[in-house]
A and B are shown apart, each in its own frame.
Chain A
């Protein structure tokens, strides 16, 4: 059937398998080149393979939980949303979460996702104890820092190119409530927001929304949002009685694809200005429920349709600390010069690099999205070039169009992964993305 990632570009016909057990995974693998797919929230073509795309959603059981350590064992297709629904009422929360809860645990390992606490806690992979991985021979191997350690390391952030992830053991963290104490700090420009990030390195969560259209001395004006899990005694008396219950929210579904004209420079600019004004008005402390804090976009199901039927492209790079300021300035200037507005732009300070192929490195990451057009393709290439000039690298979970040459210039680890895959006979675990990137 026709598949795409969350960005709806590219679309491609793929033979889709939906196995229920290991035997069915083996049977799907036997057809040749294949890649595992979770809930399809990777933006580009990282979970698509024409010959066989193995969707793991039916591996959706939770298998064990240890109260002493917080270790949860699940099958790969369990959604993060299900983990939260099940364990937050008991006082547990995911150690790391991306910006959507509609990802599978297997997908979180494969992309080694990061969240708003990356500067302190690192990626999801740091909380993974072991992975059950099906290899080319159809055998299932337990991979951990002790057993099959190299395979374990490359599987975290390995984009599914080392085998099919079947089960994962990872550690949840204890929380006292379902509420986040949020502090919003408006920042006049890029200098200001970067200074605020550095000052607030002790915060558990931090992320900035950044206005990509403002120019001059207000270039990079932002709203930095810090967050801490609220303790029970920070809640009002009524909430303290039920610290894990939050008011029910209605989710809305984007009913149609918006026409391309609905998102243009004017509307994006108006939205960004409004967002900044709201942030300034909301400056200070507020208690926010977990769902609104971590997953504001999940409340609009199928929000990717606001970009119209042609879809959109994401761009996310990370720049090392010493060149981040210069690089971000150039990236913002290039976006303004192009006249393409990024609807949602997010800046975040990242912590230390970890793992042989995971995306993050110590520095600043910028995430942008653009409705798809011929102009955007040119802009993205310009952004690629600026990132390369400043020693940055790219997030493969968001990529849909980078060239193999760009990847190699950004990240010498790509060749190491390709060699590991060749040596271990893993070449048939391949996605449309890995084929494009010659991994």
Chain B
């Protein structure tokens, strides 16, 4: 089989770049999409040189849904795998008082990714094949005081992916939800992260690559997170509301 092209939306992120390398290493041409994508030319050259595959660069602004259709039309080829890595952690305290900041977090983590993923899903469904991988978050599993603006947007995206998977299950289009726990990236730079719960971007990419070939539905990158989140979800609300997590 000639390797099918892989689209990475949010390619500048550490996880996005690690995914691009992982798929390119397996021989897939990669399409790198990001805002201000000019700066990704060097990364595309690097990927093409190291892995002997092709890498192209495409402009996308996740906050401009009206541009999504033209963006998909502009790709050299409709990809076989589309991965949405877009995300914005934002600052919870700011988001509580600043509506614009909260809105930006919500639109970056829910509105944009869901609308774009949905549009790609339509094209994949029309073709009758494809894999959609959405990077959501364990923060969407239960709203917590420390990051519920981000978490609620991720919860929305998780639910969107779940519904999409349900709807497309008989069409040959596979939808996979990824719930990474802590990952050592620019997003978490400077945070004091527990080592046992924290993954490197390359490990996240490897886990996603493998899970996608096995057509898994929902993955936690580090299996321990499945247990952690099961416990967090099981705590009765009466107790949960008094905790500091």
Contacts of B50 in A (CB 8 A): 62, 82, 86
Chain B interface mostly: helix
Main secondary structure, interface of A, reads: mixed
Contacts of A90 in B (CB 8 A): 52
A-B contacts counted at CB < 8 A amount to: 20
B195: Cβ under 8 A from any A Cβ:
no
Q: Is B100 an interface residue (CB 8 A)?
A: no
A61 to B45, CA, bound (A): 8
A261 within 8 A of B: no
Q: Does A64 contact B (CB under 8 A)?
A: yes
Q: Does B43 contact A (CB under 8 A)?
A: yes
Residues in B whose Cβ lies below 8 Å from that of A65: 49
Nearest CB in chain A to that of B52: its residue:
A90
A242 in the interface, Cβ–Cβ < 8 Å? Answer: no
Report B136 CB to chain A, min CB distance, Å.
26
A274 at the B interface (CB under 8 A): no
A63 to B42, CA, bound (A): 6
Q: Complex: how many Å from CA A63 to CA B44?
A: 9
Interface string of A39-70 (1 = CB under 8 A from B): 00000000000000000000001111100000
A90 and chain B: residue at smallest CB distance: B52
Q: Does B46 contact A (CB under 8 A)?
A: yes
Query: What is the size, in residues, of chain A's interface with B at 8 Å between Cβ atoms?
Result: 9
Report how far A65 CA is from B43 CA in the complex, Å. 14
| B window 17-63: CB within 8 A of A | 42-43, 45-46, 49-50, 52
Interface size, B (range): under 10
Of all chain B residues, the one with the shortest Cβ separation from A64 is B45
In the complex, A90→B50 CA distance in Å?
Answer: 11
CA distance A82 to B47 in the complex (A): 13
Smallest Cβ-Cβ distance to A86: which chain B residue: B50
In the complex, what residue of chain A is closest to B14 when comparing beta carbons? Answer: A20
Identity of the chain A residue whose Cβ is nearest the Cβ of B43 in the assembled complex: A61
> Whole-angstrom distance between the alpha carbons of A20 and B42 in the complex?
13
CA–CA, A202 to B49, complex, Å?
34
Name the interface residues of A107-157: CB closer than 8 Å to any CB of B.
Answer: none
Shortest distance between the CB of A306 and any CB in chain B (Å) = 27
Q: How far is the CB of A86 from the nearest CB of chain B, in Å? A: 5
Distance (whole angstroms) from the CB of A83 to the closest CB of chain B: 10
| A64 / chain B contacts, CB cutoff of 8 Å | 45, 49
CB distance from B182 to the nearest CB of A (A): 19
Complex interface: chain B residues within 8 A of A82 (CB): 50
Q: Which residues of A contact B46 (CB under 8 A)?
A: 61-63
User: Complex Cα distance A20/B49, Å?
Assistant: 20
Taking the closest CB of chain A, its distance from the CB of B225, in whole angstroms, is: 27
User: In the assembly, what is the distance between CA of A61 and CA of B47, in Å?
Assistant: 8
Please, how many angstroms separate the alpha-carbon atoms of A86 and B49 in the complex? 8
The listed residue with most B CB atoms (<10 A of its CB), out of A62, A65, A86, A90, is A62
State A86–B42 Cα separation when bound (angstroms). 17
List residues of chain B with CB within 8 A of the CB of A62.
45-46, 49-50
> Would you list which residues of chain A between 55 and 97 have a CB under 8 Å from chain B?
61-65, 82, 86, 90
A159-B49 Cα distance, complex, nearest whole Å: 29
Smallest CB gap from A82: residue in B: B50
Residues of A with C-beta under 8 A to B186: 20
Inter-chain CA distance A82–B50, complex, in Å, is: 9
B residues 160-201 touching A (CB-CB < 8 Å):
186
Within 8 A of A (CB), among B194-244: none
Distance between B166 CB and nearest chain A CB, rounded to angstroms: 40
Q: How far is the CB of A163 from chain B (nearest CB, A)?
A: 20
Chain B nearest CB, measured from A359 CB (Å): 31
Contacting residues, chain A, for B52 (C-beta < 8 A):
90
Q: Which residues of B contact A63 (CB under 8 A)?
A: 42, 45-46, 49
Nearest-CB residue, chain B, relative to A18: B189
Q: Give the docked Cα–Cα distance between A412 and B43 (Å).
A: 43
> When each residue 352-374 of chain A gets 1 if its CB lies under 8 Å from chain B and 0 otherwise, what string results?
00000000000000000000000
User: B residues within 8 A CB of A61?
Assistant: 42-43, 45-46
A90–B45 Cα distance when bound, in Å, is 17
For A86, the chain B residues whose CB sits under 8 A away are 49-50
Task: Identify the closest chain B residue to A61 (Cβ).
Answer: B46
Q: How far is the CA of A63 from the CA of B43 in the complex (A)?
A: 8
Tell me how far the C-beta of A101 lies from the nearest C-beta in chain B, rounded to whole angstroms.
16
**Smallest CB gap from B51: residue in A:** A86
| Whole-angstrom CA separation of A35 from B45 in the bound complex | 28
Q: How far is the CB of A195 from chain B (nearest CB, A)?
A: 45
Q: How far is B49's CA from A90's CA once the two chains are assembled, in angstroms?
A: 11
What's the Cα separation between A20 and B17 when bound, in Å? 13
Taken together as a complex, chains A and B put the C-alpha atoms of A90 and B51 apart, in Å, by 11
Contacts of B49 in A (CB 8 A): 62-65, 86
Q: In the bound complex, what is the Cα–Cα distance between A28 and B64 (angstroms)?
A: 35
B194 to chain A, nearest CB (A): 20
> A89: nearest residue on chain B (CB-CB)?
B52
Nearest-CB distance from B50 to chain A (Å)?
Answer: 5
Query: In the bound complex, what is the Cα–Cα distance between A89 and B136 (angstroms)?
Result: 38
Q: How far is the CA of A86 from the CA of B46 in the complex (A)?
A: 11
Q: Which single residue of chain A is at the shortest CB-CB distance from B44?
A: A61
Q: Report the Cα distance A348→B216, complex, angstroms.
A: 57
Tell me which residues across on chain A come within 8 A of B43, comparing CB atoms.
61
Could you list some 11 contacts between A and B, CB below 8 A?
A61-B42, A61-B46, A62-B45, A62-B50, A63-B42, A63-B46, A63-B49, A64-B49, A65-B49, A86-B49, A90-B52
Identify 9 new A-B residue pairs, CB closer than 8 A, beyond the known A62-B50, A63-B49: A20-B186, A61-B42, A61-B45, A61-B46, A62-B46, A63-B45, A64-B49, A82-B50, A86-B49
Nearest 5 pairs of A and B residues by beta carbon: A61-B46, A62-B49, A62-B46, A86-B50, A63-B45
Instruction: Identify the A interface with B (CB < 8 A).
Output: 20, 61-65, 82, 86, 90
The chain B residues found within 8 Å of chain A, CB to CB, are 42-43, 45-46, 49-50, 52, 186
